[in-house]
Structures are given as structure tokens and as C-alpha cells.
Amino acid sequence: MKALEEKILKEGKVLPGNVLKVGSFLNQQIDTAFSMEMGREICRLFGDCGVTKILTVEASGIAFAFAAGAQLGVPVVFAKKHASANISGETYSACVYSYTHQRNYEIVVSKEYIRTDDRLLILDDFLANGNAINGMLEIAAQAGATVVGCGAAIEKGYQGGGDALRRRGYRVESLAIIESMNEGEIVFRKQ
């Protein structure tokens, strides 16, 4: 998505530790109009797949997933990262290693929100090593739901998580794929 690549080049900052900061439109401040544009692109890509629900993980996946859900006309379920009073009853859960925080955490979804007959689209803001999406795939498997595909706003292609999922047969669509990144230059994969 050309407009996203341009926005990353204009507003993104490469931080030490190989982290791209896009707080101005995706990770802290949300550019609502641009989010809806990204949602429309996800809808164009997955609109004919019979998606019944989007699965994402809190917190930074929610805005992107919401925009996609609004365009596809389906609900968005987000996995919680901390057990809370809001989650009661039986749950699906998976252990995920956080790239940005460098530690393991548990993601949890109440069983009532994913059914065996759901056709899930799994979305996140970033796809790097693939740990977050793999955790959500595990939750989908526990629920016995069908996964129609996975996607991210921004994939850091050189970390390999997206291509590993593609090799396993999943359809993975990322709106911008970064092939290499350093403080002076960001290069995108030709799509």
C-alpha cells in the first residue's frame, strides 16, 4: 500500500533495537482517516473470504483491526495480555514472546467469543518474528475455528515471521513490508 509506505518514510522513526516507531499514526496517536483507508485495503484483500470475525491482540493491534472489522462488517475480538476481572469462565490461552519487551506473556480470550464455525482473520499492527500471530493461531486452533488468513499493517520482512507463515501455507497480507531498515534508510519489498 503505497500511501502507508509514504507515511512510514515521512513519520516513522527507527529506534535502537530494530524497532520502528510509528506513534504518530498507529501506536499511540491514531490517524483515524488513514486507519479506515488501511481497513478498506484489508477489506479489498479479504472481502470474499467469508470472514466472520477478526482476532487481534491488545493494545496496539486494536485500532487497525477495528478499522478492518468496520469495513468487513464483522466483530473484532482482542486477546488480553493480562488476566483481568473482565475475563471470567473458560478461556483459550497461549504464551507469546514479546519482541518489544523481550519477555514472555500470556494472551487470553474467553471461549464465548470464538466458535468452531468462525472463519477468522488474524491481524496485528506489526509482524516481525511472528510470535504474536503464532500465539493467536494457537488460540484459533484451540477453538477449532478456521483461519482464512493473517495480516499486519507493517511487516518487517527481514525478521522472517511472515515468510515462515507463508511457507506453512497461510495466506499472509501485509500492507507494507520492510525489507531492510536502519537509521538512515528504510527499504520496502516490492509487492
Q: Which residues bind ligand 5GP (CB under 6 A)?
A: 19-20, 27, 60, 99-100, 124-132, 156, 161
For residue 108, report the phi and psi dihedrals to the nearest 5 degrees. Answer: -135, 135
How far are the Cα atoms of 45, 75, 80, 170, 181 from residue 62, in angstroms, in the given order?
A: 19, 12, 11, 22, 25
Q: Which is nearer to ligand 5GP, 41 or 155 (CB)?
A: 155
CB of 174 to ligand 5GP, least distance (A): 11
Q: Which is nearer to ligand 5GP, 104 or 191 (CB)?
A: 104
CB of 12 to ligand 5GP, least distance (A): 9
Distance of CA 181 to the CA centre of its chain: 20
Q: Which is nearer to ligand 5GP, 16 or 89 (CB)?
A: 16
Q: Which is nearer to ligand 5GP, 50 or 187 (CB)?
A: 187
CB of 48 to ligand 5GP, least distance (A): 26
Count the helices and strands in the chain (H runs, E runs). Answer: 5, 10
Q: Determine the residue type at 63.
A: A
CB of 159 to ligand 5GP, least distance (A): 7
